[in-house]
Structure 1
């Protein structure tokens, strides 16, 4: 396994961690007690982008 593959696996793992965190934050946002206390981060978009990055990095790591 090369250093490039290792780096790509780390990137995929980090992106997957960000996606899980974003999913948890979106769940908390939907269940908040004060509906007027809106946040400024679109957690769904963060989750989708992180999942795309994880998929691409994982695919490239497998092909390398």
Structure 2
């Protein structure tokens, strides 16, 4: 595995962690007691962006 592949794989792993964190935060947001107390971060969008970045980076890591 080259240095470029290792870097891309590490970035893909970071995106996976961000996606998992966003999923956890969205689950907590969905189960909140006070329905009017919403946050300012749309965790679903963060999760989808992280998953798209994960797919692109993983594809580049395995292609290179």
Give the TM bin, normalised by the shorter chain.
over 0.9
- 1:3-60 Cα shifts (integer Å, max 9, x gaps): 1000000000000100000001000000001111110000000000000000000000
Q: Which runs of 5+ in 1 are unaligned?
A: none
CA distance in 2, matches of 1:36, 1:52: 30
* TM-score when normalising by structure 2: 0.98
Runs of 4+ in structure 1 off by over 3 angstroms are none
Q: Could you say which residue in structure 2 is the equivalent of 1:9?
A: 9
RMSD: 0.4
Q: Which runs of 5+ in 2 are unaligned?
A: none
